[in-house]
Structure 1
Amino acid sequence: MEYTNLGRTGLNVSRLCLGTMNFGPHTEEADAHLIMDAAHGQGINFFDTANTYGSAEHRGHTEEIIGSWFARGGGRREKTVLATKVYGQLGDWPNEGRLSALHIRRAVEASLRRLRTDHIDLYQMHHVDRSTPWEEIWQAMEVLVAQGKIIYVGSSNFAGWHIAQAQEAARSRNFLGLTSEQSLYNLLERSIELEVIPAAEYYGLGLIPWSPLHGGLLGGVLRKENEGVRRTSGHAANALAARREQLQQYEDFAAELGQEPGDIALAWLLSRPAVTAPIVGPRTLDQLHAAVRAVDLTLDQKTLDRLDEIFPGRRTAPEDYAW
């Protein structure tokens, strides 16, 4: 496994981040423990979760599964850079969601209990809260850092100008501010190249892409469909129908290269500026082992150019849409 710094920090994380959203709803606890042990065995030290992951009836279940794994000892917690999130609505009562200082305080205490740990390494805002001033948010985060309950702060699903707002407010307080941004980014969805990536690079944030295979569409979906291994329905079927021609070109190109489509999609992300670690969310051990292959795959410039032809990207704004 390769390692890199998380943005401008001195924190070393693996080039793949283990996503845990499937733990609970789709992957039983015992299997989730096996996947986390295997991730450590592959050198993955960066795990991502959220306080709302689990199910509508049992929000927080995923954190509980990770907590029970930590409780088994053997250095599991010490070897893990643990990232979780705050923002999502956890109940129907006021102040059970978003980023008020009150909710941040309550949410971090609840996450620590579920995770069975005394600190969170990377505490991420799951979404921007337009109704809470940055002075309030940063004061709450500063208190948590001072108490030793969190170490770094990150964002998720922020626009470029939200990152700028956050960082300038933090700078005025002599606070480190954001160290990472977690965004939707893959060959099919490249909108963040307009402004989010330039902002992340300017402020020294590590980029943590989620949905690197775009819900499986970049993982050889057409081949699996032809083999009867996978069927798509609903939103996924509509997305597949809209992008079928591109995806066919992509899978044909992967076959020419003798590589798995999913490996190419992950390797492409690993080649992108500012990207620290794509989040891979395996449901099974086989899916985890498949994802690790991409770290050793280097794409040459000719291959990168062909991928840009199939999936055109975005230039930095405003040049992308104005002179």
Structure 2
Amino acid sequence: MQYKHIGRTGLLVSRLALGTMNFGMVTDESTSFEIMDEALETGINFIDTADVYGGPQSPDMEQGYGISEEIIGRWLAQSGRRERIVLATKVYQPMGTGSNDRHLSAYHIRKACEDSLRRLQTDHIDLYQMHHIDRHTPWEEIWQAMELLVQQGKVIYVGSSNFAGWDIATAQCAAKGRHFMGLVSEQSLYNLNARTIELEVIPACRHYGLGVIPWSPLGGGLLGGVLNAVEGRRADSRMQQQIKQHLEQLKSYEALCQELGESPADVALAWLLHNPAVTAPIIGPRTVEQITGSLRVLEISLSDETLRRLDEIWPGPGGEAPKAYAW
């Protein structure tokens, strides 16, 4: 396994992060345990979850809340595992039907953190990520709440998710004014077919020293060899629409991967790892075999010519702002 610092921190994490959104909703507890066991065995030390994972993510469906964290907590309760991993979770999404059961008020941050610690059966969260920007809560309030959690030893580092570049800049300026470290990572949608963050988010992360943690690195399965996969099974309507929309790109992409002798999924992950701003893409295996299969990506080196051809097939926004659209 390879390891990399999260942004400007001294914290080392595996180049692949284990995503657990499926735990409890798609993957049962025993299989989830097996997946985490195998991840730890292969050297993956970075586990990502969220308070809302594990059930229907709706304020009207309280029964599903926290299941993923609870599964991880029961797994962590087995001897010696907590100190071997970097544990990340998130706050923001609705965790009940009450008016203050969501977003980033100091009230909710405190309660959400305590609830996550209880479900995870641990006394601290290594990376506490804001799941989305809160446009109605001032940064003074957010940072005061986060600072207190850090002072209490309940949170070590703070990260963001789904932030715009200017949100990152605003957050870091406010943190600097408080002599607080602020954000150390940003978890964004990023893959060959979704490259919008190259405009401003990645430049902001590079400038402020945040590590980029891509979610949906395979585009919901689109980049995982979907043309061959659907020959053996019927794709759902959403995927069928995606295939129809990107059919010519997919044909070229999967042909290139075949030429390279690598699976499309591995090429998609290798392309992300090639970017110096990226710390670790989040993989969400549903089986133990998918964990071991993902390790191949760490051995792939993409040539300049291959990177050029990938840019031709999956063009990005044209570079960084404002050069992408102005002089």
Counterpart residue number, 1:132: 137
Q: Matched residues, percent identical?
A: 62
Partner-residue secondary structure (3-state), 2:222: coil
What is the identity, as a one-letter code, of the residue corresponding to 1:252? A
Q: 1:200 aligns with which of 201, 205, 215?
A: 205
CA distance in 2, matches of 1:93, 1:110: 15
CA distance, structure 2, for counterparts of residue 296 and residue 20 of structure 1: 24
Distance 2:75 2:121 in 1: 9
Of the three residues 301, 316, 321, the one matched with 2:320 is 316
Distance of 2:71 and 2:193 partners within structure 1: 32
Which amino acid is 2:45 matched to?
N
Residue of 293, 298, 306 corresponding to 2:296: 293
Residues 44-89 of structure 1 deviation map (CA, whole Å, 9 limit, x = unaligned): 000000000011231100000000000111x211101000000000
Offset from partner CA, 1:164-203 (integer Å, 9 cap, x none): 0000000000000000000000001000000000000000
Q: Please give the per-residue CA displacement for 1:75-104, whole angstroms capped at 9, x wherever unaligned.
A: 211101000000000111111000000000
Mapping of 1:161-176 within 5 angstroms?
Answer: 161-176=166-181
Residue 36 (1) aligns with residue 40 (2): no
What is residue 69 of structure 2 aligned with on the other side?
63
Structure 1: gaps (5+ residues): none
Letter in 2 for 1:299: L
Distance (Å, rounded) in 2 between the aligned partners of 1:231 and 1:244: 16
Q: Deviations over 1:222-244 (max 9, x none)?
A: 01112x1x322232221221111
Report deviation, 1:256. Answer: 0.7
Q: TM-score, normalised by structure 1?
A: 0.98
Question: Secondary structure, in 3 states, of the residue corresponding to 2:83?
Answer: coil
Runs of 4+ in 1 over 6 A off after TM superposition: none
* Paired position in structure 2 for 1:265: 268
Deviations 1:230-269 (A, max 9, x none): 3222322212211111011100111111110000000000
Corresponding residue for residue 251 of structure 2: 248
| Aligned 1:1-323 pairs, distance under 5 A | 1-56=1-56, 57-73=63-79, 75-226=80-231, 228=232, 230-314=233-317, 315-323=319-327
- AA aligned to 2:307 is L
What is the one-letter code of the residue matched to 1:96? D
**Secondary structure of 2:221's aligned partner:** coil
SS in 2 for 1:78: helix
Indicate the SS of the match to 2:160: strand
Q: Identify the range of structure 1 (308-317 vs 6-15) with the bigger mean alpha-carbon deviation.
A: 308-317
Instruction: Please give the secondary structure, in 2, of the residue aligned with 1:132.
Output: coil
* CA-atom RMSD in angstroms: 0.8
User: What's the TM-score once normalised by structure 2's chain length?
Assistant: 0.97
1:141-183 Cα shifts (integer Å, max 9, x gaps) = 0000000000000000000000000000000000000000000
The Cα shift of 1:322 comes to 1.8
Match of 2:60 in 1: none
Shift of 1:287: 1.2
- Name the amino acid aligned to 1:60: G
State the AA in 1 paired with 2:168. I
SS at match of 2:64: coil
Counterpart code for 2:115 = A
Instruction: Determine helix, strand or coil for the equivalent of 1:27.
Output: coil
